[in-house]
Chains A and B, each alone.
Chain A
Amino acid sequence: MTNIVDDKKALICLIANLLRDCNHVAVGAASPIPGAAALLAKATWGTPRFVNILGSVDNNFFTGGGGELFDCAAQGRIDAFFLGGGQIDGQANINLMGRGDYPNCSPRWPGTFGSAYLYFLIPKVILFREEHTRRTLVEKVDFISAPGLSDEKTYRKGGPFGLLTSKAFFHFDKEKKRFRLVSIHPSSSLEDILDNTGFSFDYSEETPLTSPPDPALLEVLNREVRGKVAEVYPNFADTIFPVTSNAGHDT
């Protein structure tokens, strides 16, 4: 249990570092780890200055309705966003629709949400999927909810920055149109990643381990950010901030 909690906190800290150069980060509903990371970055460095968590009341400052997020994205007012998917392939195509032949997918997943739009317009889209298996990371997705790449005549200001899983972090190389392994989390290994990734990717035999989270960052997460996380993601907060382990850090 403790390892799972530590691993999730490490992911939060890793993502927080990726958001440090952003002014405005938006996070979709039901994305507790990216949401916690954005709140952590803001609390630690003051950047991103703006964090919008969809579905939250306290951590959402939009006053223009559900369409405001998309208008903001189209104007370049959002710097980073997160997308996931039941399947992600080596070309960074994502599938949020379902496995098998559309429309009678089995299983059917919720649907495409705003991905078919936001992927084109937000510069730093971080693909985040904890499950790192050949079931989720596939050679070719069954349904393209949003394409990773577009041809030259297509208006495209944004796209995939990288892919973070429970085992590794990959960077997406837009020139080569492939993922490149950046770092391996301590609980995994290169062999494990090769065994469990369904698409081919570039890597070096000397790929470094993912750096452990900075203790100061963890401290801010445990002390300052836990209350905010609990407002938005109560069940998730119960998992990563068990009451007993933080008795001395009540906010």
Chain B
Amino acid sequence: MPMAIEEISIDDFAKAIPDGAKVAIPADYAGVSMAATRALIRRRAKALYLVGVPTSGLQAELLIGAGCVKTFESSALTLGEYGPAPRFTKAVREGSIHLIDATCPAIHAGLQASQKGIPFMPLRGILGSDVLKNHPGWKVIQNPFAIDDDPIVAIPAIQPDVALFHAPLADRDGNVWIGRKRELVNMAHASKTTFVTVDAISETSLFETEEKAAGVLPALYVGKVCVAPNGSWPLPFWNGADVDDAHMRQYMQMAANDAGFQEYLDQFILQESVPA
């Protein structure tokens, strides 16, 4: 069988995500590719359109702080118990990024519409909120099946150029094991292509047993795979490490001002040794 996976360095992997790309990224608990995030900052990516599915955290915070982001579409940017995200807070205050604020199920619904190839998905709730009032894409329509007034919100499809995440395993054919993190499958189905960093390569097919196959994203959807052990560091990984608490605290301290954030980039991202 031909090897579908080419060996690629994390920096070449990040170079394949072009400036201006619409990139879908998962919430902190679903497997964030922080290794690729650092490589994007090293290559000085510009004008990215991030879609946080359905929220984002340190990944968007770093990319925003490093000037890589033009638009941030999500339901929240949170660093959890570490407190307000300092670079995001500053960018919002200064109006230096374009915000499209949503609510979690609407992000999922927009991706679902894209994966079904339909223009929109209707969704309950949301009516009467200022999120609806300020969102550029959502429309209130009448339920076409109801006799009485029944307003419902239509969420347009969200089709990212790239879905980007970290997973435990890929096999040589490019199949990726995502366990029960089905939102990663939704992201991949909705996006034009999917880039995945993995902890390791499985030498046997992930379709070998039904138990494993149930959690597989097929290679059909996968554009690139790059091996990056512990690639979600310093964030926690559902199939591995806990959060690097000391590092997160250090980040919060350093990112509190511009000079400190620059020092953080220098120390942990720009000077990171880059052999794949």
Contact = CB atoms under 8 A, between A and B. Distances in A.
Interface of A: 29-30, 54-55, 57, 62-68, 70, 74, 96-98, 102-121, 143-147, 150-151, 153-155, 235-236
11 contacts: A30-B78, A30-B81, A57-B238, A63-B180, A103-B101, A108-B92, A112-B131, A116-B103, A117-B126, A121-B124, A154-B127
B77 interface: yes
Nearest to B76: A111
A42 B152 CA distance: 36
A186 B132 CA distance: 41
Contacts of A103: 92, 95, 99, 101, 134
B99 A155 contact: no
Contact of A111 (B75, B80, B152, B180): B75
A108 B128 contact: no
B112 A111 contact: no
Interface residues of B, number: 56
A87 to B, nearest CB: 12
Interface string B12-55: 00000000000000011110000000000000000000000111
Nearest to A74: B124
B5 to A, nearest CB: 25
Interface string B172-209: 00000000111111100000000000000000000000
Nearest to A108: B92
Contacts of B149: 153
Nearest to A148: B128
Contacts of B185: 65
B60 to A, nearest CB: 11
B127 A144 contact: no
B124 A235 contact: no
A147 B151 contact: no
B92 A144 contact: no
Contacts of A117: 103-106, 123-126
B96 to A, nearest CB: 10
B104 to A, nearest CB: 4
Given A110-B55, A235-B81, A146 B129 contact: yes
Question: Looking at B76, B81, B89, B112, which has the most chain A CB atoms within 10 Å of its CB?
Answer: B76
A98 B77 CA distance: 12
A153 B148 contact: yes
